[in-house]
Amino acid sequence: MGMFKDLRDLHKASKQFERPTMRDALRQSNEAIQAYQAGMEQSGRIAQVGVMGTAVVKELRPTGRTFNEWPEMEIDLTVDVNGFKSEVTHTEPVSPAVLPRLVPGGTITVKVDPQDHSQLIFI
């Protein structure tokens, strides 16, 4: 009997939370896909016209989102391109292969947009 009571309590508790409609869920999914595709296009552009530099990782935080099992991270960096340093916060899904290189105080090679150093890719 305890199991059925627990299930009933769980069902009651779930009614407190508003569930998105199918239309809202699809809209959110489409927005996430479009944002990811735009990021991929931007990365391709930076790979072609970007300037090489280095970045020192100050802090990284997970956003709670994932893309293809890659955690999206918000990363505070000090970017150095030809002696010009800038403080940036960069957000992107990070490959599990790159994640161990992103440690606070660590240096990583980057390629940055010549006009906007907050737009970068990890090399």
Could you read off the pLDDT tens digit of each residue along the chain, which spans 123 residues?
577 788 888 877 877 777 778 898 888 888 878 877 887 888 888 999 999 999 999 999 999 988 888 899 999 999 999 999 999 999 988 988 888 989 999 999 999 999 888 899 998
- How many Cβ atoms sit within 10 Å of the Cβ of residue 16? 6
Residue 1's pLDDT is what?
A: 54
Do residues 112 and 90 lie in contact, with contact meaning Cβ atoms separated by under 8 Å?
A: no
Here the tokens at position 99 are 């994640």
Q: Can you give the pTM of this predicted structure?
A: 0.68
Where exactly are the structural domains of the chain?
2-122
